[in-house]
Amino acid sequence: MKARVHSLPLFFVLFFIALSSSFSFSSSDEDCLSCHQDPELKNGAGKSLFVDHEKFLSSVHGQRGISCVMCHTDLEGFKDFPHPERLRAVDCGECHGKAVREFKESIHSLDKTGEGLITVSCADCHGKHDIKSKDDYSSPVYPLNLPQTCEACHLEKVKTKRGVEFIRQYEKSVHFRALEKAGLTMSANCSHCHGSHNIKGVLDPQSSVSRKNIIRTCGSCHVGIERDYLEGVHGKDYVKGIKDVPVCTDCHNEHDITSPEELSSPVYATKVFAVCSRCHDDEALARQYGFLTARLKTFSNSFHGTASKFGEIRVANCSSCHGFHDIRPSFDPKSSINPDNLPKTCGKCHAGAGINFAKGKIHVVSEKTHNKWAYFV
């Protein structure tokens, strides 16, 4: 019983110590705001030092009771105001350790390209005293706002070999239209493809947009397409590490990805054969990997190729016969150009096409010599 009686005064002492500590944080903020709440306050260089208290209170830090000295740690316990003009840089890693560690290895933290990229800080993307959660509509890193946040530097401050027009191409893409016009936040924005804190240069093997990783990056949204690609002839060579095999960006471009139904798309019905022929008419690649060349010439001489050149979009092109992402060799039982499957493939356009109809060859140098029955008909 005596021990319990003696414990009561100790409890009240600890309670008042804790209470006084909480008041010391409050008074510390008041000390800061006594100067920094002045909209006219500036440093020697003319930079504003004003802190909008209302915005801070509505920020993610203000809502969690973060005080000034918890970020500006060199002012903790400081009494002799005003403080020195130059303070230590705020270390966000005290709380956000993982994000800061990733950021320090990113292209933003250190220019590793030699292209004159500027280094940036947490505040450049997230703000300072008015930081919002990434899920807040008003946050500069909210999906709908992120392109404008990135463009603030990449259109005006950053100079790269590709120039600002390469960055602006994203605004013409199907991804941007889905994001900007339809408000679909799951549509690809800068961070979906490049990452957030761990952004690497495109030539860095660890970059999410390097050739080594681009299939997985695109596949994070286009799961079914990734599966089909990896099961196809291109995907199997990609897994082997063959660098000449086409990946997503080789056919669809990078920032200005558009729907295949748009005339501007490189895989539009009347343009897709030009994309495929970049590899399949390359004699050096043909010798190295053992495939036939003159695919564009032989296709162009056919009825399909001739009609396509005149703008007919309903006529068969490369993908109509070979498929899109799951392209397979003719000996594969699942291939759309396997002899057993050709009647079905041709029948997509030519209703009732049978085995004899499918015997007509497409890639021939001379219809009259190599495809005489079809030529006669």
Per residue in 141-180, pLDDT (tens digit) is 999 999 999 999 999 888 778 889 999 999 999 999 999 9
Specify which residues 42 forms β-bridges with.
48
Q: Look up the pTM and report it.
A: 0.81
Is it the case that residue 85 has pLDDT exceeding 90? Answer: no
Q: How far is CA 97 from CA 61, 65, 94, 100, 239, in A?
A: 16, 19, 6, 5, 34
Q: What is the pLDDT of residues 3-20, one digit of tens each?
A: 444 455 555 444 444 444
Between vectors from CA 51 to CA 47 and to CA 56, what angle results, nearest 5°?
A: 140
Quote the pLDDT of residue 300: 86
Q: At 322, is the pLDDT very low, low, confident or very high (cuts 50, 70, 90)?
A: very high
- What percentage of the chain carries pLDDT values higher than 90? 67
Return left, alpha or beta for 235; rule: phi > 0 is left, psi -120 to 50 is alpha, else beta.
Answer: alpha
CA distance 308 to 314: 8
- Cβ proximity of 106 and 35 under 8 Å: no
Quote the pLDDT of residue 20: 44
Q: What is the pLDDT of residues 337-371, one digit of tens each?
A: 999 999 999 999 999 888 887 777 777 765 556 56
- Count of beta carbons in the 10 Å neighbourhood of residue 48: 12
Q: At 122, is the pLDDT very low, low, confident or very high (cuts 50, 70, 90)?
A: very high
Q: Which two tokens stand for residue 16?
A: 């008042």
Quote the pLDDT of residue 180: 92
Quote the pLDDT of residue 1: 43
Q: What is the pLDDT of residues 235-264, one digit of tens each?
A: 999 999 999 999 999 999 999 999 999 999
Give the residue-averaged pLDDT of 225-236.
97
- Cβ proximity of 144 and 179 under 8 Å: yes
Give the residue-averaged pLDDT of 211-228.
97
